[in-house]
Amino acid sequence: MTNTLTTPTADMDGDTITATVQDSRGPVAIGKTITQNIGYTPEQFAELVARLLDTLQKTPKAHPLLHNTRAMLEHTRRQLRPLIEYKEMHDLLQQMALSYQVVYYTIYDEEEQLLPVELVHWRIVGGSCFPLLADVRKLCAYAAITSFAIDIADWRLDLLQTHNELENTQSRRDLANFAAALRDVSYVLNTQTSRMNDRLIGCIDTLGLTTLVTLITRVHRELSAGADREQQSEADVRELTTVADRLIALRNEHDRWQQIDNELRREWPGVEVDLHRFQGRWARSLGRKLYTLSDNTVAWAQELLALLRRLDATLTQGERPLVLAAFEECRRAVTRRFMEVDFELRALCGVLKEVGSPLDQLLEQL
């Protein structure tokens, strides 16, 4: 097995994000630049929302409707903060997972077995541990200031203790306890990354952006302003509708790829231990899901489809090393696609963050 580390790096310039993958040969471009479907910066989006809300305020017929939906507007405002926070926590956990993987492979071999203590290069361990410790501190510091800090205090404090154990056992070259502390990091990653994804998805579901778009659309129909202003409002409503639709689409895609990525990680030990049993699960469930996701003509889907067919061919041959290599290629392709969706959702969450100020101004005036 080739030790491959997926390292997302985002280069946001205008409306594009470029991602790279880090493997044993160094950084490799994913081969695709994600073009956003938004078309404007967060600041421009804030101006758009402010313009629409100002139109609502200045339309007499809209006032009763605004007062009747004040609770909905306040709910949308309250949900914006945790939406951004859950996404940031999810990203910080993913970054910590990458640095964890680097440290992991300094003390484990390719068969996932702990190296004999005499084979461990402690200078390399210490160098790779430094970024992991920094990521742990960054995650815990951010977690402490979130709106849901009390809810996650237990594992955050445990992780800080693990940070100290990693630092101390590494300096003492205590392999057994260092490995135990590393397992504690793995436990946080395995439990909290999916949990933050679930909370992020739940927050998007209850955000109310679609309801806000519906409200603005209803008011727009009653506008009695001049033609120029009405034309501008029509364009603004269309843009806001596009963002709301894109948010829901990304929510669904992000959740699908998160679950598939989780399943592939869980299946890896089964491929090594019981190939026959894995073949059954692949045919019944996981393989079908991936084939469904790759039913598209875009480049990433065609690449994944080719890798899935290669894996099926190796499963027919039944040679474990070939199956392992083909499975790993599929997993890497899924991770790359998940990264792309994740980056686009991150960018959209950054845009939505700018809705807060215009909403605050409107709520103060109601």
pLDDT tens profile 255-280: 888 888 888 877 877 777 788 888 88
Q: Is residue 26 part of a domain?
A: no
Q: CB atoms < 10 A from the CB of 63, how many?
A: 14
Q: Is residue 83 part of a domain?
A: yes
Burial status of residue 347 (CB atoms within 10 A of its CB: 0-12, 13-18, 19 or more):
buried
The helix (run of H) or strand (run of E) holding residue 254 is helix 227-273
Q: Is the pLDDT at 356 greater than 90, yes or no?
A: no
Higher pLDDT, 365 or 132: 132
Lookup: tokens for 351: 């845009």
Q: Is residue 108 part of a domain?
A: yes
Q: Using one digit for the tens of pLDDT, what is the confidence trace for 141-159?
A: 999 999 999 999 999 999 9
Q: Is the pLDDT at 56 greater than 80, yes or no?
A: no
What mean pLDDT comes out for the span 201-205?
Answer: 84
Q: Is the pLDDT at 172 greater than 50, yes or no?
A: yes
At 31 the pLDDT is 30
Residues forming beta bridges with residue 17, ordered by sequence position: 34
Q: CB atoms < 10 A from the CB of 328, how many?
A: 18
Domain containing 156: what range?
Answer: 60-222
* pLDDT above 90 as % of the chain: 32
Residue 138 CB partners (closer than 8 Å, separation 6+): 92
Burial 143-178 (b: 16+ CB within 10 A, else e): beebeeeeebeebbeebbebbebbbebbeeeebeeb
Q: Is the pLDDT at 335 greater than 50, yes or no?
A: yes
**CA–CA separation, 339 vs 8, rounded Å?**
7
Q: Is residue 85 part of a domain?
A: yes
Residue 230 CB partners (closer than 8 Å, separation 6+): 220, 223
Identify the DSSP state of 10: -
Place of tokens 């469904």: 292
Higher pLDDT, 48 or 341: 341
Q: Is residue 259 part of a domain?
A: no
Burial 303-323 (b: 16+ CB within 10 A, else e): bbbebbebbeebbeeeeeeeb
At 275 the pLDDT is 83
One-letter amino acid for residue 12 of the chain: M
Q: Is residue 97 part of a domain?
A: yes
Q: Is the pLDDT at 364 greater than 90, yes or no?
A: no
Q: In which band, very low, low, confident or very high, does the pLDDT at 351 lie, cut at 50, 70 and 90? A: confident
What mean pLDDT comes out for the span 359-366?
Answer: 67
* Cα 17–Cα 21–Cα 22 angle in degrees, nearest 5: 135
At 130 the pLDDT is 95
Lookup: tokens for 262: 């989780």
Number of domains in the chain: 1
At 68 the pLDDT is 67
Q: Is the pLDDT at 230 greater than 80, yes or no?
A: no
Q: Using one digit for the tens of pLDDT, what is the confidence trace for 107-140?
A: 998 777 899 999 999 999 999 999 999 999 999 9
Region of poorest pLDDT, from 164-178, 204-218, 241-255: 204-218
Spatial contact of 100 and 186, defined as CB atoms under 8 Å apart: yes
Spatial contact of 65 and 53, defined as CB atoms under 8 Å apart: no
Q: Is residue 120 part of a domain?
A: yes
Lookup: tokens for 9: 């790096």
What mean pLDDT comes out for the span 63-74?
Answer: 72
**CA–CA separation, 159 vs 181, rounded Å?**
9
- Tell me what the pLDDT averaged over the chain comes to: 78
Length of the chain measured in residues: 366
At 89 the pLDDT is 94
Identify the DSSP state of 37: S
Q: Is residue 101 part of a domain?
A: yes
Q: Using one digit for the tens of pLDDT, what is the confidence trace for 72-98?
A: 777 777 778 888 899 899 989 989 998
At 93 the pLDDT is 94
- DSSP helix/strand/coil, 11: coil
Q: Is the pLDDT at 236 greater than 90, yes or no?
A: no
Lookup: tokens for 286: 């996981």
